[in-house]
Amino acid sequence: YQAKRGRRGTTVYDPGTDQHTVGQLAMVTDLRRALENDEFVLHYQPKVSLADLKVTSVEALVRWQHPTRGLLPPGEFLPVLERSGLMQPLTRWVLREAVQQAASWRRAGMPLQVAVNISPRSLLEDDLPARVLAVLRGAELPASLLQLEVTETAVMTNPERAAFVLTQLQARGVEVAIDDFGAGYTSLALLRILPITALKIDSSLVSQMLDHAADEAVTQAVIDLAHRLGFSVTAEGVETDALLDRLAALNCDQAQGYVVSAPLPPAAFEGWLTDWRARTSSTAGRSGTPP
């Protein structure tokens, strides 16, 4: 299949060629097999509280351990999955896997909220709330330890339906976050009607903040607006300490990004967490900042 470099250097599927039909069909066959053979894996990326650098939750990010092509990032296969109607089985797998992982960490004395990305299609499925609750029950995980991340685009497809589905989930204690906020066309009106508890500001807005006053102004305004609406705010794609400090100064609640940790396989994440806790518990403030 044809791929090209997309925004932020991710590989995106390019539907603009003729060969794509054949290539895509092959990939769909490949993906079906992958689902049957359990070829997907989840990596986990922490979100840290900017006030005390404590790890508040982890986001589950899917990768495809392809038998010949190696570990593939979601940008390489999610668009094909979403279009070919195979997203539903993947979403089910990711939910089960992430919830079981969170339950197992909790049993090991490491209670962490896990965040799962829900695709636009999966968000519109009738049985999503029932499925999510069944998975939580099966793993004996409290609903508050699960967060669902949905993009503004997903919600905009059908705002009423999305609000209905998310309200059911939130009523049972599942947290809902808007992902990639500020990356697309946002309707501020949407923020009034959606039952959300958190907002993730897209890295495209945050990453240029130190060099572009306008980006910082918008970020500041988004943080203030979110707080007025009672949401917590996470900044995505934070790569430097300088940015981490600036976000803390703007009262942003949490940050996620390579400066803290890249997404890691479960065992590596556990090791990282132990190190991180040892490093950050000795100082009251952020590393490099005097207490």
CA dist., res. 282 & res. 291, Å (int): 10
Contact 144, 183 (CB under 8 A): no
Indicate which of Mg ion, ligand C2E, none lies near residue 182 (CB less than 5 to 8 Å, by partner kind).
none
Let me know if 230 is exposed, middle or buried by CB neighbors in 10 A (0-12, 13-18, 19+): exposed
Question: Is residue 58 part of the contact set for ligand C2E (CB under 6 A)?
Answer: no
If binding is defined by CB under 5 A, does position 179 make contact with Mg ion?
yes
The reply to whether 180 sits near Mg ion by the rule CB under 5 A is: yes
Nearer to ligand C2E, 54 or 121 (CB): 121
Please tell me the distance from the alpha carbon of residue 198 to that of residue 90, in angstroms, as a whole number. Answer: 24
Q: How far apart are the first and last CA of the chain?
A: 53
Q: Does 73 bind ligand C2E (CB under 6 A)?
A: yes
Per-residue contact track with Mg ion, 225 to 264, x per CB under 5 A?
A: -----------x----------------------------
Q: Which of 8, 32 has the CB closer to ligand C2E?
A: 8
Pairing of the two strands 232-235 and 113-117? unpaired
Residue 275, token pair as written in the block: 């190190």
Q: Does 61 bind ligand C2E (CB under 6 A)?
A: yes
Pairing of strands 3-5, 11-13: antiparallel
**Residue 8 interacts with which of ligand C2E, Mg ion, none, CB < 5 to 8 Å by class:** ligand C2E
- d(CA 105, CA 111) in angstroms, rounded, equals 6
How many CA atoms, within 13 angstroms, populate the side-chain half-sphere of residue 231? 25
User: How is residue 288 written in tokens?
Assistant: 């490099």
Residue 216 interacting with Mg ion (CB under 5 A): no
Residue 281 is classified by DSSP as: H
Q: Does 148 bind ligand C2E (CB under 6 A)?
A: no
Binding of residue 237 to ligand C2E (CB under 6 A)? yes
Minimum CB separation of residue 291 from ligand C2E in Å reads 26
Per CB under 6 A, residues contacting ligand C2E are: 8, 45, 61-62, 73-75, 78, 94, 117-119, 149, 179-180, 203, 236-239, 257-258, 263
Per CB under 5 A, residues contacting Mg ion are: 117, 149, 179-180, 236
